[in-house]
Structure formats: C-alpha cells, structure tokens
Chains A and B, each alone.
Chain A
Amino acid sequence: MSADCRLAMDVPSDVGFARVLTAAAEALALRGGFGRRESLRFQLTVEEFFGCLTETVDASQAIRVVLTGKKHLLRAAFDFEAASLSLGGLNVVAAAPACAASEPAGDLGLLLAGKAADRFHIEHRGERRFGLEAEVDKAYPPGAAVQAPAAYPAPFTARAGSDAGQLAYAAALAAAAYPAWHCPGSFQTPGKFADMIEDGQVRCVVATDAAGQPAGLLSWTPCSDRGLYFSGPFVFAPGQDGAAVARVLVEAFLSLVGREKYEIVLSLRATPDAPDGYFESLGELKLCREDACRPQQVLFRHLREDAGLAVWRHPDLEAFLLDAYDRLAMFRNFLNAPSPTSRPRRESLLGANLDRKRDLGELRTLLDGEDLVDNLRRHVAALRQRGLGNIFYYMDLSQEWEAALAGDLTAAGFTPSVVLPHGGRGDLVVWQHVPAA
C-alpha cells in the first residue's frame, strides 16, 4: 500500500490543461516501471476522459483528478460536479458530439473515451457530484508452465498467504488445473497475483501439505462495504486429500474474516470443490464466452446472524422475492414500490462497469428519467456490439425508487436472477439481460 504513488490535482475544466495530465500520467507510468504500451494507453485514457468531462463540467469549476500508480495498475479518478443540463451526457453510450471531435460522428461518448482502459466505471456521489474511475493494468509475462508436485503428503494446513514466490506458484497451479472462468484474471500472470496480494486489495489463504508444498488456494477481495467476493477453493491434491484441502482452505478463510466488518461472503465463480455445508446456493447465472454458455452457481454465506431488513418490492418482483427469501429462510419486511407515475427528469443516467477481460458489463441506474427503457436498450446494444455478452443489472432493494424500476427492466429485456442478501446497501437483486431468441 505504501508503495503506491499518488498525484492529486484540481484542474480547471479547460481542455487546454489536458497536456498537464498526460505528462503526469506518463511520469507515473515511467516511475512505476510500466511498459510503453501501458503508458500510452493510460495517457490516452486520461486525455480522452478529461476532454469529455470538460464538456460536461462548467468552465468555472475544477475537476479533481487523482492519478494513482500501484504495482499492478494505473488508475485515473475524476471527481466533478456536472452542469445540470448535461447529466444525460454522462451515460457511457450518450451521443456527445463534443466528446468526439476527432472521431466519426454518432459515436458513443465515454464508452469511446474509455476504449484504451481495461475497465472503468462512473458513480453518483450526491446531487450533481460524480466520480469516474478508469484503470489500465500492467502487462505481466504469462505464467511459465509449472510442474505440479508428484505427491501431496497429508496433513494439510492453511494460513494467510504472503510469500510472493509461493503465491505465484500456487496461482500458476490453479490456472493450470481450473477453467479460466473460475480463476481471477491475475492467475494467468502469477506475478501480478503476488503483487495484488502485496498491495492488500486481494487477500488469500494457501494450503500446504506436510512437505510445505502448496496444495490449495482461495482468494478474496471486498465487493462492497459489507461483502467479500471469493474465488476458489482451488485444490491441487487429488481425491479424498483434495476434499481435506478444500475444507482447511474454507475454514481458514472464514476464520480470518469472521470477526471483520464484513457481513457476507459470496462468489459468482466458486469452484465445484467448495465443501458441502459451508455455503448456501443463491441460484444460478448463465455465463457466456464467445458462444459457449454454462450455468454458474452463486454461493453465499452470512458471517453473522441475519438481523432482518426492510426491502422495497415492486409488484412484478413479488413472486420472485417471496420464493428467494423463503428458500433462504430469511425474513424481510416488504414495502411496496409501485412503478413511478412520473419521472423526475427527461434523461436518465446509468452507471456502467465494463470489464473487457471477462466480457462483462454491469449496469445500475444512477438517475431515473423518462427515457430509462430506451437508455437501457441503448446500453445493452452498445455493450453487445463490443463483445460484452454478460450483462448484469444491480438493483438495491433498500432504495424505493430503484426497486420501483422493475417494470422498466423487464421491458428492456432483463430477468431477475438472484438476490444477494446484503450485497449492496441492502439486499441486491442481480438481473441478467437475456437476448431475444
């Protein structure tokens, strides 16, 4: 964490200052030992986003820009106040002509500006305040082929992993043994995984056998203030021993986080090795890559006693929610959230989280507006066009106005898939877009 290099500036909303930012971005990339390609991508990202924002932010206002160089990535964060007339222009797919001075007409605003980034998202921070964050990953050499140990002598123990060499080796073993779907992307470049652990954003437990060789791995990272998202358990030892390894991994994981501030752990990519009895299944998502689709269990576990919650419920979701909460034996006070009779503004604004490496687009509504259904459709079309075929929408049931949008989602082609208890500020419903057959 202390290894981060951070640069913060309040920059006037004037495109003339873009060069200051690209120079800073270049210096940061250089200092962090990033390659020329990543440096250029980062500079481009900073320049394009800043250019876009100057069109949205009044010239009298400053844009707060924070550039951060971590060992494994470069991040640009913009904090700004949007002029009220141009909120719709913040949709990643908004046609914002000024944004695209040098591009062909009819393009897609921020989505285009973010083309050089590995991922970016926009969030609403209150009133007209917004945050936009974009990241460019360091390029790591792919993992060399690794030789798995010939045998794994019992007994197995697990503890928090910290030795970089051991972590990189364990990540490489996992990447060799499991389909890419289950693995954090960093497993393909094990040096990156070790750097992310050192950075503290990802944590893990490593199981070792009697000879001290890695026999399994499980990693996790926060997905909200209340939840941890885990990957694994990845088990290298075969058969019965493998089941024992999975158990010590899960026990060590839960013991480490059991007294922390988190309420739940969950995973959209748990392996079939997750031991019986430790997690509950919330349901399935359908995940696709190229044309191959497969069901993925969503695993969940509370870390403490459920205290109950109030949730807002649209009539369209009633049957779905009753069934989900009954299966969970989880009690909720339902409050009615009918469809809105009028909309607060003409143009809606969607938050988008785009992850090219996982073909993933995640949407939520930041501001409701008359054009919401159309806006959702525009986003879906643009994401699909860019090969992001797994499109999820998150609805926080602690917000009345969010829950009231269930009808719009259905109209835009989404279906509710699973409820993530405490997945957001309150319970979160994950909707998945199903392409018309």
Chain B
Amino acid sequence: MSRLLDRVPAYVREFESYVPSRPDPVLMRQYGVTGLHRLNNNENALGPPPLAQEAIAAFDPHRAAIYPPGDAYDLRAALAAKFGKSPDQFLVGNGSCEVISSVVRAFCQPGDAVVTADKTFAVYEWVARFSGVEPVLVPLRDQAIDAGGMLAAVTARTKVVFICNPNNPTGTWWNRQTLETFLAGLAGRAVVVLDEAYREYVTDPDFPDGLEVLTRHPHVLVFRTFSKMYGLAGLRVGYLCGSQEAVDIVRRTHIAYSVNALGQIAATAALADDAGHIAATRGMVAQARSFLRDLFDGLGLEYVAGEGNFLMARTPVSDTLLYRRLMREGVMIRTMTGFRFPNWIRVSLVEEPAMAAFAAALKKVLDKP
C-alpha cells in the first residue's frame, strides 16, 4: 500500500510544481487570436544586441554535436575583462535561476533558513521550500524591501539573505547607503545575494554596483542575467560573481556543462558591443513607462512605476479574470496574485505598437472609452 509519494520527503510532497505558460501557438489557439503581445515575462522586445544576433546567425549547426566549454571558459574570460575581475570569480548558469539553486545547495541544509521579502521574485522562496529550507518572508514597507525588517529576521539558522535589487515586481531599490547600512548591521552573519537581474535598466548614480560592493564584502554574491537587457532569455544564460572563496564553495554544487554552446557564444558577443543596445533599450523602456503612466492616470488606476522594464498596476477586477479577457484580445500580461499582490498586474515595457495594443485592449475589457 506504500505509495511513491509516501517515500518522498515532506517538503517535496508539500511542494506543488510550477506550471509555466503554454507556448504561444497553443495560447493563440485557446484564446482564438492570431497574434500575441508578450508583456508578461519582462523580455527585451528589441532582441539581443547586434553582435549577438550575428553570432547566433553564424552558428555552425555541426557544432551542436560538440560539448560546450563545461565551465563557460570564454564567457567568464569576457566577463572578467569587462568588469575587471578574475574569471574564477564568475560562475555561469542555465539562467540565473540555476545559480539560485546552486547557492541554496552550497550553503543550506534541511532545517536551515533563508530570508527574503514576501513580495519579490518567487524562485528564492521556491528553491528553499523544496530543499527543506525555511523561507522567512519579510513584508515590504511602502512597496520596498524593508532593510530593518530583513535584518531583524536573521537568526542563527539563516544561511542566505536574498535581495532583489531593483525588486521585481515593485521596481523599488536600495541605494548605496541603505545597502551599506544593511551589510554593516548583518556583519557577515549570512551570505547576501544581490539579484541584479534588472540593474542595466537603472541609471541613477545612487544605485549600488554589486560588483564593487563585493570587493569590500566577501560574503556578498551578485546575480546577473542575459535574459533581460541582453535579450537572450531563450538561450538561458545567467551568472553569479563573488569573492573567489565564495565562488569556490558554490562551484562544488553547481552542475558543469549546464550552459549550452550557442548561449555561451551569444552572451560573449553581447558583452562586446552593448552600449548602443543598452541606450536604445532604455529609451524604449522610458517611453513605454511614460505611456503607461498616462494611460493609468487617465483610467484612474493606481500603479507603481519604479526601475526595471516593467510596471505594476492595480486592477478594478480580479487580475486573473483580466488576464483571460486580455488574452482574448491577444495581449498577455502577468497576474500578481502569485506575487501576493491580488488584483495587480505587471506589464513589461516594450515598443510602442505593443503598448498601444495593450492600452486599447485594457480599455475595451474594462469597458472604458
């Protein structure tokens, strides 16, 4: 009578696997539309930088038969050169999601705890949960991660503190002073992860540079990704950077060969000419943000517009219902109930035609002229 499920650790048994969105053609068939504007995943509508596009086009299909460098050797060298570090301070993963998992495996065992915000990127919490590690969730304060609350939540069981800077989905961020005060208060009692997935969108000089911070704080690990600004989400490349000592520890629990050859090549090329691409993307995002502010102001909808290529708005109907209605109009947004923001949606900031389509669809489904 023993079921398979009975042999599974309770923390796995209790965990429900994440169901990702269906592929676009399936969704289009389901919702009866011929096109879909993807405003749900904070992808870069401009695609990857030109050199990366060229590298992808030039990829010889025969190379698909060959294993890639198992430790992303060339990409790490390029990162090291760009940021003035040693290649050994970088660890490249199959998206930064993979390195979240490597970090939790390296520093935590069942019964330990990690600290993060209640309303932030979900993967820190999920990885902790299905690893038997307790995620201690600190409520946001004024829509921002609460430095004092995070400090107060750290106990002897806490192994890692995850700070999403800027925070997904609120776009709020810690400035240099807040981060320094926090790190001083923590005094090295736990590893600190600064997830800077959206840092390339921030222009404010008071935004702290994690790669500089970690030179003074050896227990700080910085996560970055090629999925957002660099437009390579489909190839799954992210990385972490830290002190050599910290990276050596995480490398033990990190699967070698997890990053594919094309992804490594494209990411390396993307770094080589990013200035024009970043400027163009920031321009597009700024324009879309101001467009949405006007839209939501006009509709009388509350919104939170911080940094990053997304914006969050409160909806007058259930966010999950709004999702379905917008899908019928060919517009896909992210519902926020799962981020513990019931009746909010998050909208990616992309190019004009898609923003206009969103505006038209929203007005239609809310029946506002």
Given A277-B316, A329-B328, A331-B30, A259-B340 contact (CB < 8 Å): yes
Contact check, A259 vs B122: say whether CB atoms are below 8 A apart: yes
Q: Which stretch of A163-171, A248-256, A339-347, A390-398 is in the interface?
A: A248-256
A4 in the interface (beta carbon within 8 A): no
Kindly state whether residue B260 has any CB partner on chain A within 8 Å: no
B16 at the interface (CB under 8 A from A): yes
Residues of A near B31 (CB, < 8 A) are: 331
Say whether B342 contacts A250, CB under 8 Å: yes
Tell me the bound Cα distance from A277 to B30 in angstroms: 25
- Name the 10 nearest CB pairs between A and B, nearest first: A261-B16, A302-B320, A254-B342, A331-B30, A329-B324, A255-B340, A258-B337, A308-B30, A258-B340, A329-B325
Within 8 A of A (CB), among B165-179: none
Q: Does B184 contact A (CB under 8 A)?
A: no
Say yes or no: B335 contacts A305, CB within 8 Å.
Answer: yes
- Residue A278 at the chain B interface, CB threshold 8 Å: yes
Q: What B residues does A307 contact at CB under 8 A?
A: 19, 21-22
Q: Which residue from chain A places its CB closest to the CB of B315 in the assembled complex?
A: A277
A301 interface hit (Cβ, 8 Å): yes
The 14 sampled A-B contact pairs (Cβ below 8 Å) are: A64-B1, A254-B342, A258-B341, A259-B122, A261-B16, A279-B318, A303-B337, A303-B338, A304-B337, A305-B335, A306-B320, A308-B30, A329-B325, A331-B324
In the assembled complex, the Cα of A79 lies from the Cα of B1 at a distance in Å of: 10
- Interface residues, chain A, CB within 8 Å of chain B? 64, 79, 250-251, 254-255, 258-261, 277-280, 301-308, 328-331, 333
Q: Which residues of A contact B328 (CB under 8 A)?
A: 329
Residues of chain A within 8 A (CB-CB) of B315 are 277
Once bound together, how far apart are the Cα atoms of A308 and B324, in whole Å?
A: 10
Whole-angstrom distance between the alpha carbons of A77 and B295 in the complex? 58
Q: Are B335 and A304 in contact (CB under 8 A)?
A: yes
B11 → A minimal CB distance (Å):
13
B32 at the interface (CB under 8 A from A): yes
Interface membership of B323, Cβ < 8 A: yes
Query: What range describes how many residues of B lie at the interface?
Result: 35 or more
Residue on B nearest A255 in the bound complex, by CB: B340
User: Please, how many angstroms separate the alpha-carbon atoms of A259 and B335 in the complex?
Assistant: 12
Contact of B343 among A278, A329, A333 (CB under 8 A): A278
Say whether, besides A255-B342, A278-B343, A305 and B21 are in contact (CB < 8 Å): yes
CB-CB < 8 A to A64: which residues of B? 1
Q: Within residues 306 to 345 of chain B, which ones have a CB less than 8 A from any CB in chain A?
A: 315-318, 320-321, 323-325, 327-328, 334-335, 337-343
On whether the beta carbons of B339 and A258 are closer than 8 Å, the reply is yes
Beta-carbon contact of B342 and A277 below 8 Å? no
**Nearest-Cβ distance from residue B118 to partner chain A, whole angstroms:** 8
B353 to chain A, nearest CB (A): 23
Which of A259, A261, A301 is packed against the most chain B CB atoms within 10 Å? A259
B43 within 8 A of A: no
With both chains docked as a complex, state the minimum distance between the C-beta of B335 and any C-beta of chain A, in angstroms: 5
Q: How far is the CA of A329 from the CA of B32 in the complex (A)?
A: 11
CB pair A251–B30 under 8 Å, yes or no, is no
Check if A277 sits within 8 Å of B338, measured CB to CB.
no
Asked if B59 is at the interface of the complex by the 8 Å CB criterion, the answer is: no
Confirm or deny: B125 has a beta carbon within 8 angstroms of a beta carbon on chain A. Answer: yes
B26 at the interface (CB under 8 A from A): yes
Which A residues touch B334, using CB under 8 A? 305
Residue of A nearest to B334 (CB): A305
Say which residue of B22, B316, B318 sits within 8 Å of A302 (CB atoms).
B318
Q: Residue of B at shortest CB range from A254?
A: B342
Residues B342 and A258 in contact, CB atoms below 8 Å apart = yes
B32–A278 contact, CB under 8 A?
no
* A250 surroundings in chain B (CB, below 8 A): 342
Q: Assess whether A277 is in contact with B343, with CB atoms less than 8 Å apart.
A: yes
Shortest C-beta distance, A432 to chain B (Å), equals 25
- Taking CB atoms, residues of chain A closer than 8 Å to B27 are 308
In this complex, which of B118, B318, B327, B334 has the most chain A Cβ atoms within 10 angstroms of its Cβ? B318
CB-CB contacts below 8 Å: B90-135 with A = 118, 122, 125
For the complex formed, measure the closest distance between the CB of A290 and the CB atoms of chain B, giving whole angstroms.
36
Closest to A258 in B: B337
Asked if A304 and B324 sit within 8 Å, CB to CB, the answer is no
Query: Complex Cα distance A302/B321, Å?
Result: 8
Q: Is the CB of B338 within 8 A of A258?
A: yes
Bound-complex Cα distance A79 to B323 (A): 43
Known: A258-B340, A301-B320, A330-B324. 13 other contacts (CB 8 A): A79-B1, A258-B342, A259-B338, A277-B316, A279-B318, A302-B318, A302-B335, A304-B338, A305-B21, A305-B320, A305-B335, A307-B21, A308-B30
